[in-house]
Chain A
Amino acid sequence: MKRVYLDYASTTPTDERVVEAMKPYFSEKFGNPTSFYSFAQEAKEAVDKARTEVAGLINAKPDEIIFTSSGTEACNLAVKGTAFRNKNKGKHIIASSVEHFAVLESLKWLEKHGFEITYLPCDKSGIVKPEAIEESIRDDTILISVMHANNEIGTLEPIKEMAEIAEEKDITFFSDACISNGLVDIDVEELGVDLLALSAHKMYGPKGIGALFIAKGTGIEPLIHGGGQERRLRSGTENVPSIVGFGKAADIAKKEMKSYVLGMEILRNYLIEKVLRIESTKLNGHPEKRLPNNANFNFAFIEGEGLILELDFSGISASTGSACSSPTLEPSHVLTSIGLPHEEVHGSLRITLGRETKKEEIDYLIDNLPGTVERLRRISPFKGGFDDYVKGTEWKGGHKHV
């Protein structure tokens, strides 16, 4: 069967060149970078080189990069590490309501430990208004967290403006860039952020490796204690092959981003134009301020899990924000935050393109989608509109049946 992978925001394949770069560090140059003897120096040098490459991708200095086991760990370290370092200064944190679970769940945990969180609303396109931050800042605010781009709807946030506000008030500013790394030019100097999380597998690097940029002078408490690796901020023997792979992926992204992003964007725009021809279909997110590979659609009157399954039967891999497809049976918090009504939040489809996505693959999706949507709409009781049953009732979440 034909296989068309269109879920590159979920993960990307590891670039062959990255795999090649990693190979020697498994069985041949396997030394522990912390060891003193010369054999281990090869590994240490490789880690140093990778650190320089990852730093280079975001215009940071190598000693401002801490390797972690994932983007999620980088987010945990940023949020919890800042909170614990500054707990005597204050207990208040500001975050956008559309953050990734890595941030949201860390915040929820901090709430249990006495921290107070203010969640910032966003507009219909998913943009957090910098003014909202200004209004939320208190004397005891210690951290502001707003993601660089949204992983579901691709909206790019005005990080620079928000980081400026944080800087004026001397509050640590963190941005999760796991979904945008390798797709958008990120310059930490220009953005003015104190902390920035990165993930390798979203940019053709290996899974299981991430990094946190910590600007010089930013205080943070480690979460993992032990042998004192990574400037005592993240103990544990370095995952040398994956770090090397991350470095190579960052180097490739830096050199090639301009060319592959352009092609991606053209193809994505073509996809949006074609899909919006399907009746009762909307584009979620911002029309321009969005990741170059992201398209997120809303099909009224149908539910996304069935749509994903139908596409899967045709060999197409994509994702949805529907409650039925999530392990918690909760609909996407991002789609509810941008104000989609309860009956519409389930009909979303996220398509994310990769560097190797071809026009014929997009055409294959375009050929399959209208029929699939049409078939599910034939099964749905709502034809061309929601009736009184839906509109006349005050619905709440939770799987209760009338």
Chain B
Amino acid sequence: MYSEILLDHFRNPRNMGRMEDADGVGKVGNPACGDVMYVYIKVGKNEKGKEYIKDISFETFGCAAAIGTSSMVTELAKGKNFEEAENISKSEVADAVGGLPRRKMHCSLLASDGLKAAIEDYRKKQTEKGE
């Protein structure tokens, strides 16, 4: 039922693990449904002074689709500026893992939401710092 790409990301997850000195952490999901994702980002600034995702990692409690899409979204987001990262849609994630069974489509939403939540958390922390 899963594609080879998804199974590969499930078995060999990329960028997996907690990031202790993360600049932003996104926590999404609902343990009642059996999927929770934490996304950690380290933020850098490019030559134009624009913020981008310098490093990223994840931890996921969930099924193979949740784990596989989590891994994929970190790959898609790495090195991207915020605007680009926030534009990664659930269908982009789903396509990147070679498609998902219909009832697992929400897992790709979890992954793109997790990334957005991490960026949001970073911005919130920056605002707090500024105050």
Q: How many residue pairs, one in A and one in B, have C-beta atoms under 8 Å apart?
A: 97
Choose one: A323, A331, A381, A396; the contact of B36 (CB below 8 Å).
A381
Q: List residues 1-60 of chain B with CB under 8 A from any CB of chain A.
A: 2, 10-11, 13, 16-18, 27-38, 59-60
Q: Report how far A305 CA is from B101 CA in the complex, Å.
A: 14
Indicate if A329 sits at the interface (CB-CB under 8 A): yes
Contact digits for A384-402, partner B, Cβ 8 Å, 1 yes 0 no: 0010011000011111111
Min CB–CB distance B115 → chain A (angstroms): 12
Which one of B27, B28, B36, B66 lies within 8 Å of A324 (CB-CB)? B66
Query: Per a CB cutoff under 8 Å, which of B16, B34, B60, B110 touches A331?
Result: B34
Give the interface residue-count category, chain A. 20 to 34
List the A side residues contacting B37 at CB < 8 Å: 381
Q: Known contacts being A303-B34, A389-B36, is A313 close to B28, with CB within 8 Å? A: no
- A382–B18 alpha-carbon span in the complex (Å): 10
- Complex contact A399–B61 (CB within 8 A): no
Q: Is the interface of B mostly helix, strand, loop or mixed?
A: mixed
**1/0 contact string of B101-120 vs chain A (CB within 8 Å):** 00110100110010001000
Interface residue A343 (Cβ < 8 Å from any Cβ of B): yes
Q: A306-B10, A379-B16 are in contact. Are A324 and B32 (CB under 8 A)?
A: no
Per the 8 Å Cβ criterion, residues 79-95 of A in contact with B are: none
Q: Does A325 contact B (CB under 8 A)?
A: yes
By CB atoms of chain B within 10 A, which of A395, A396, A401 has the most? A401
A173 at the interface (CB under 8 A from B): no
Q: Which residue of B lies closest to A344 (CB)?
A: B31
Q: How far is the CA of A325 from the CA of B62 in the complex (A)?
A: 11
Do B64 and A401 have beta carbons less than 8 Å apart?
no
Instruction: Say which size band chain B's interface belongs to.
Output: 35 or more
Interface residues of A in 356-402 (CB under 8 A from B): 378-382, 386, 389-390, 395-402
Residues of A within 8 A of B38 (CB): 381, 389
| CB of B19, distance to nearest CB on chain A (Å) | 12
CB closest residue in chain B, given A402: B28
CA distance A323 to B66 in the complex (A): 13
Q: Bound complex: CA of A323 vs CA of B18, how far in Å?
A: 26
Q: Does chain A have a CB within 8 A of B63? A: yes
The answer to whether B113 touches A322, judged by C-beta atoms less than 8 angstroms apart, is: no
Instruction: Give Cα A378–Cα B57 distance, bound, in whole angstroms.
Output: 13
Q: Are A306 and B30 in contact, with the CB atoms below 8 A? A: no
CA distance A389 to B18 in the complex (A): 15
Check B67 for interface membership: any CB of A closer than 8 A.
yes
- CA separation between A208 and B61, bound complex, in Å? 38
Query: Which of B2, B17, B28, B32 counts the most chain A CB atoms within 10 A?
Result: B32
**Judging by beta carbons under 8 Å apart, are B30 and A303 in contact?**
no
Contact with B along A300-336 (1 / 0, CB 8 A): 0111011001000100000000111101010100000
Measured in the bound complex, the distance between the Cα atoms of B59 and A30 in whole Å is 61
User: Given A306-B67, A401-B110, does the pair A379, B34 have CB atoms closer than 8 Å?
Assistant: no
A346 at the interface (CB under 8 A from B): yes
Can you identify 30 A-B contacts, CB atoms within 8 angstroms?
Answer: A301-B61, A302-B61, A303-B61, A303-B62, A303-B63, A306-B10, A306-B67, A324-B62, A324-B66, A327-B103, A331-B34, A342-B31, A342-B32, A343-B31, A343-B32, A346-B31, A346-B34, A379-B67, A381-B18, A381-B60, A389-B38, A390-B31, A395-B30, A395-B31, A398-B30, A399-B30, A399-B106, A400-B30, A400-B33, A401-B29
